[in-house]
Amino acid sequence: MNPIARKRAKKRNPRTPYKIVVEKHADGYVSYPLGLKGVVVGQGDTYDEAVADVKSAIRFHVATFGKQVLAFESPVLEAFVAEVAP
């Protein structure tokens, strides 16, 4: 990020809810947050387990790498899933 963009970048309020994606696979669920710097993934046998795991992973990620992982330039306002034919 260039210095001007860095000055304009907003800090995420740690209490602001995260938007997460939860995917159902044949062997369980995978979840990950949108708009967080770095790679954070949760998993579980159920939807609720995957959500709980990613929440724990987010807390660990912030505790490990600091609040700078909460900084972002463009927050995800909405996320959509679409299916298209090639």
Give the CA radius of gyration of the chain.
Answer: 15
Between these two residues, 62 and 10, which has the higher pLDDT value? 62
DSSP letter (8 states) at residue 15:
T
Residue 85 reports pLDDT greater than 50: yes
Residue 49 reports pLDDT greater than 90: yes
pLDDT in tens, 7-21: 444 555 556 788 899
Where exactly are the structural domains of the chain?
Answer: 3-71
Q: Six-digit token pair at 66?
A: 């600091």
Give the range among 15-29, 50-64, 67-81 with minimum mean pLDDT. 67-81
Domain 3-71 annotated CATH 3.30.160: yes
CA distances from 49 to 37, 54, 58, 85 (A): 23, 9, 14, 32
